[in-house]
């Protein structure tokens, strides 16, 4: 039987895997890029890409994708296989440093905030080396930022990375004013809680408003309000418990620090809370958490609603009026 420690991060090309698979000098060069933002030489990128490809194939992957977060509220992927033709009509499995570092998905149908016209809508993905690559559904996913040709942000990650760098730069400036010159980098962290509702699939299918909008648009007020707060922190029902167990297993495989789970105050409302980690990694993990929640719920005959308050007239206690 697999233990938590054995499966945790098993689908992540993390520091342990890189240290074991990369030549010593390549590993050091990559760490300088990750920790200090140094430029990554293409020869180093080629070695990293080959090691990443071999590891992914051993895990059953056949494709790779630059995994990014356009302004749609969800993540985006364009899958390319590792295959490359040979002169004898066969194939070999290849993955270059150029393919690792940069991609060019068509951006014509993504929201752009009016930054450019459709016929100029080229978009570029750039590898975020500070967030580990991972395997999801048999595909090697490489976290990336998504920008226009002129460098304008077309996603929600590029502004986050830029704000992290600004905080780092200004915090170091303040520390030096107080005489602390030993610190070379300031790391910001976050741990986003994820609240969600689980609704039986058969009941969900009877409500067109839930299907089309993810929330109720009509209906009567519930017969009870805060009287149902015995649900809060109450005993987790077996069906929900089975969902939570599988969800944890899938999240742990991706190195997501899923820590706390409990019933929230509203009927059918629950919460998952991770351990704090580096800001951009936490943002990536939160996107994965929401996606995997919905996939696992379907396997258990339920639908996971991620809308903040999907049910009209439902009294959901917030921290502001708890005390």
pLDDT score for 282: 95
pLDDT score for 6: 93
pLDDT score for 230: 66
pLDDT score for 317: 40
Of residues 162, 167, 157, 158, the one with CA closest to residue 188: 167
Q: What is the DSSP letter of 224?
A: -
pLDDT score for 320: 37
Q: Please tell me the number of Cα atoms within 13 Å of 116 on its side-chain side.
A: 18
pLDDT score for 224: 58
Contact 110, 70 (CB under 8 A): yes
- Tokens found for residue 119: 């016929």
Phi/psi at 51 (nearest 5 deg)? -65, -40
pLDDT score for 265: 81
| Prediction pTM value | 0.88
pLDDT score for 148: 84
- Paired residues of 46 in beta bridges: none
* Under-50 pLDDT residues of the chain: 315-323
Query: Using CA atoms, how far apart are residues 162 and 246, in angstroms rounded to an integer?
Result: 35
Query: Using CA atoms, how far apart are residues 229 and 145, in angstroms rounded to an integer?
Result: 42
pLDDT score for 229: 61
């Amino acid at each position: 039987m697999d233990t938590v420690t054995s499966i945790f991060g098993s689908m992540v090309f993390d520091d342990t895997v890189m240290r074991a698979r990369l030549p010593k000098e390549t590993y050091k060069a990559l760490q300088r890029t990750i920790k200090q933002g140094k430029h990554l030489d293409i020869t180093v990128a080629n070695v990293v890409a080959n090691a990443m490809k071999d590891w992914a194939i051993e895990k059953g992957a056949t494709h790779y994708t630059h995994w990014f977060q356009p302004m749609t509220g969800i993540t985006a992927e364009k899958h390319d296989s590792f295959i490359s033709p040979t002169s004898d009509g066969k194939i070999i499995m290849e993955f270059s440093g150029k393919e690792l570092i940069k991609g060019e998905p068509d951006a014509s149908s993504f929201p752009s905030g009016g930054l450019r016209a459709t016929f100029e809508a080229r978009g570029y993905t750039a590898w975020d080396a500070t967030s580990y690559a991972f395997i999801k559904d048999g595909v090697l996913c490489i976290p990336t930022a998504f920008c226009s040709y002129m460098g304008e942000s077309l996603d929600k990650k590029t502004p986050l990375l830029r704000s992290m760098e600004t905080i780092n730069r200004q915090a170091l400036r303040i520390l030096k004013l107080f005489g602390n010159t030993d610190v070379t980098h300031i790391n910001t962290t976050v741990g986003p809680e994820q609240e969600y509702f689980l609704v039986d699939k058969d009941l969900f299918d009877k409500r067109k408003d839930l299907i089309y909008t993810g929330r109720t648009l009509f209906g009567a007020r519930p017969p009870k309000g805060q009287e149902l707060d015995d649900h809060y922190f109450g005993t987790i029902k077996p069906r929900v418990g089975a969902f939570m167990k599988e969800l944890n297993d899938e999240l742990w495989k991706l190195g997501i620090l899923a820590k706390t789970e409990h019933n929230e105050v509203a009927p059918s409302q629950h919460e998952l809370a991770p351990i704090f980690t580096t800001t951009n990694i936490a943002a990536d993990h939160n996107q994965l958490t929401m996606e995997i929640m919905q996939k696992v719920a379907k396997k258990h005959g339920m639908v996971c609603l991620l809308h903040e308050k999907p049910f009209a007239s439902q009294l959901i206690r917030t921290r502001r009026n708890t005390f």
